[in-house]
Structure 1
Amino acid sequence: MHPKNIDMGLERIRIVKERLGIRFDCPVVIVGGTNGKGSTCAMLQTIWKEAGYRVGLYTSPHIHRFNERIRVDGEMADDETLVGCFEVVEAARGDVALTFFEFTTLVALRLFAEAKPDAVVLEVGLGGRLDAVNLIDADVAVVTNVAIDHVEYLGDTREKIGFEKAGIYRRGRVAFYGDTSPPHALVGHALETGADLRIFGRDYFCRMHDGKWDYVGRKTLAELPSPSLYGDNQIHNATTVLAIVEALQSRLPVASDAIRRGLAHTELPGRFQILQDRPQIILDVAHNPHAAAVLAKNLKKTKPSGMTHAVFGAMADKDIDGVIALMKDCIDRWYLTDLPLPRAASAEVLKQKLMAAGIGQGKDSQCISVYHHAADALASAKNNALKNDRIVAFGSFWVVTGVTENSGLNSPTNHH
């Protein structure tokens, strides 16, 4: 449809949005950031659903089916509804060229405009300022954190990337930065825009004690359960989620028991997702150093008595060396896989990078193997793993897709 996969800018898509006459009367939340977007969106949707609200949720990418990207009231959009929206957007497009993500975003917005939910939650695809979801003026805009990723589109420093991500903030509307030490450019842009910026650790925070935690914002919520999504970073993400819920409390009142149920019932495939035990199989879409640091921390915290086997694949444009440096102390054997798209780094390239990082030398020369398909890499890891070992399949979303698609491991829910 469009000669380029990614073509930053909102001029073309805005024309089509106007033709479609898309408007929302309900609160809209836009969630950007380098990592934690999916978890933030999932928890927010579940808490509001537990409080009795219908939520329109748009996320990306999908793991198995395109329909996963567009949900109303927790349910994936069905084929018939989606195709109807495709036809409407295609007719409105005329001669305007749209990228895949732009077309998809218009389909989601059109579908939500028709479904009239109580709230809409939109996940940024890439960056913020020029991302398709930034067509909509959000009532609350969130940047979860800023780390180095997508350098060729967003810049090579946290300041440049922070500026791009802050583009979703709006004058007079609530804006969140869900981490400590925000980039100066992000804070500067929020001030210049006139957004009401609230920063994690300054305006709201969490207190941990005895396996429970407290949210402290304008009000305090004590003795909260740990989120069903695993890892300390999820309490961090949940703190920002509760700050969003608090910011919209006058329009979408939520009782504290709905918050507790929402935290306990959130499901999200591929975020330290434990598929089975003995040997344990863990899926994680950690594909940049910031996410790999979190994964490494979670792996060290839950160390098995046996070995750790890793199925790993990555896109060529990622900081693969940075990911390997963070993960290498956690992994005993590597099963490297090609991925089915041109942007991917080949398993052979990954092997060279591991060897350059000092893995697979001398007596350890057997610890790296190479596969064309993620499912084959997983099958080999399962053959070699003993009951007390664990297997972690991580890297690109395509790794999680590949290992669950043909291996009978179709993403059950998170369990611990």
Structure 2
Amino acid sequence: MNTQSGTLIAGMQTPESQGFAAETASLSEWLGYLEALHPSEIDLGLDRLRQVAECLQVTTLPCKVITVAGTNGKGSTVALLESVLRRAGYRTGCYTSPHFLHYNERIALNGKPVSDALICAAFRQIERARGDISLTYFEFGTLASFIIFAEQKPDIAILEIGLGGRLDAANLIDPDIAIVTTIALDHESWLGHDIAQIGREKAGIFRPGKPAIIGSETLVSSVRETAEVIKTSSIDQLGVTYRWQQTKDGWNWQQLNQAGDVTLQYLQLPELSLPTDNAATVIQALQYLDAMGIKIPTVALYEGLKAASLTGRLQRIGRFMLDVAHNPHAAEYVSKRLPVVKGRRVALLGMLDDKDIESVLDIMAPYFDTWYLAQLDGPRATDVSRIEAHLLGLGCVNICTFDNVSSALTGVLADTDDQDLVFVFGSFYTVAGVLAEKERLLVCTSYERN
């Protein structure tokens, strides 16, 4: 096989020979094909991807690139960046994962998911170029985003790392600015239990001569050490070179010099629905964009931060609050932000087996009166009996188990009213299962709050 030309080796099965018509396939048909194409769901490494990207001529993008990695906070950082940049008049492209309801959510231009037609056209290009190189579902989608951004030419592309950092498909593109938000144990089946090594892997998105931004005051030291080894142009860390301070009416952002003196600040920034640490990190990134000629008016900054929101992150729909919250770090964050209610706090939970389930339950158990446990689908789903057993050991007694998210939602709707808070969490799949039936949430409540 000639990889560069994309020709097929003799006797190789083409998509058509397998009953798949690439030229006329719908997006749903493509996704079904891709799910069965590669022997494993995750296959970390860039060699296969780079060969295909070189053939497609998408190893670089014709725009500024910001890459965001981390255990938690990636999605909100991307959302905040995108919101500010759009209000400043710039065209944006965002690649994120996973999606909640529609695959198109993963690739957005100017805040809107791209069309089926654009994605299918990109998939066809990849299929022709890859020859006998096997790509995962995620790698296909990542390459599709590169193709679409190369064709549509946004001013800035924001790439979210899916897993790890150094070996993630999105890290094929060299960023102009790289951000690592937080580091914690997650995806342990793939990344391991060594927090220092996980930090080094996530810091693998940094590049020589480019800014490295660390969006946590308590990040493992291996992240900064890796940035130093890579010889980034600068290393900015929350609490060291920039910070935020709570005020009576909002918060302030401040840039600091080595002596700890304030050299630049924004005053009375608006209260946010997303984490302030990530908003402060976004402002630090904007300082570097400014030096690259991408100017952000102050009014665009204020309006963009205030307007930013993210599906499945402390999202309110009537008496429901939804947050992916699938690891201890996220659980700690959301537990401090659960509102006081007149009625009960009810949890609707489903989790995957590769998460630190027991630690998440240890954190969240004291906050809820009743638990509705939903069995998720797929080989990675944990059995609800494991969750139930641990909750019983923690002294939780009001526990109901269900075969799926939909039936758990039915039980919750029958057992709660507007005085209660229903907190849906534990997995993208759990939140997506409830969002898919959003109309059921709305008809049972007298109001909706976003």
TM class, shorter-length: over 0.9
Unaligned 5+ segments in structure 1 are 361-366
**SS state at 1:408 partner:** helix
Aligned residues: 399
Report deviation, 1:409: 5.2
Out of 266, 275, 278, the position equivalent to 1:237 is 278
TM-score under structure 1 normalisation?
A: 0.93
Q: Which letter maps to 2:378?
A: L
**SS state at 2:347 partner:** strand
Match of 1:322 in 2: 359
Out of 12, 15, 40, the position equivalent to 2:48 is 12
Q: CA offsets per residue over residues 203-227 of structure 1, 9 Å max, x none?
A: 1000110131111125211111112
Out of 101, 107, 123, the position equivalent to 2:160 is 123
Moved more, 349-358 or 325-334: 349-358
**SS state at 1:39 partner:** helix
**SS state at 2:185 partner:** coil
Out of 364, 373, 380, the position equivalent to 2:404 is 373
Is structure 2 residue 68 aligned with structure 1 residue 26? no
Match of 2:288 in 1: 247
Moved more, 250-259 or 378-387: 378-387
**SS state at 2:385 partner:** helix
Match of 1:163 in 2: 200
Match of 2:235 in 1: 197
Match of 1:91 in 2: 128
Is structure 2 residue 222 aligned with structure 1 residue 222? no
Q: Distance in 1 between matches of 2:166 and 2:335?
A: 31
Match of 2:315 in 1: 273
Partners of 2:61 and 2:146 within 8 A in 1: no
Is structure 2 residue 387 aligned with structure 1 residue 341? no
Q: Distance in 2 between matches of 1:141 and 1:30?
A: 5
Report deviation, 1:389: 1.1
Report deviation, 1:187: 1.4
Is structure 2 residue 137 aligned with structure 1 residue 100? yes
**SS state at 2:82 partner:** helix
Match of 2:24 in 1: none
Unaligned 5+ segments in structure 2 are 1-36, 256-262, 443-447
Q: CA offsets per residue over residues 230-277 of structure 1, 9 Å max, x none?
A: xxxx1111000111111111321001100111011112111000101x
Partners of 1:338 and 1:344 within 8 A in 2: yes
Out of 413, 431, 439, the position equivalent to 1:382 is 413
Report deviation, 1:373: 1.6
Match of 2:324 in 1: 285
Q: Which letter maps to 1:40?
A: T
Match of 2:211 in 1: 174
Partners of 1:403 and 1:409 within 8 A in 2: no
Match of 1:55 in 2: 92
Q: Structure 2 vs 1, CA of residues 47 and 374 (structure 1 numbering), >3 Å: closer, same or farther?
A: same
**SS state at 2:159 partner:** strand
Match of 1:364 in 2: none
Partners of 2:62 and 2:150 within 8 A in 1: no
Runs of 4 or more, structure 1, over 4 Å off, are none
Match of 1:151 in 2: 188
Moved more, 381-390 or 67-76: 381-390
Partners of 1:312 and 1:335 within 8 A in 2: yes
Partners of 1:31 and 1:121 within 8 A in 2: yes
Report deviation, 1:407: 4.7
Report deviation, 1:26: 1.7
Match of 1:294 in 2: 333
Q: Which letter maps to 2:425?
A: F
Identity of aligned residues (%): 39
Q: Distance in 2 between matches of 1:193 and 1:34?
A: 21
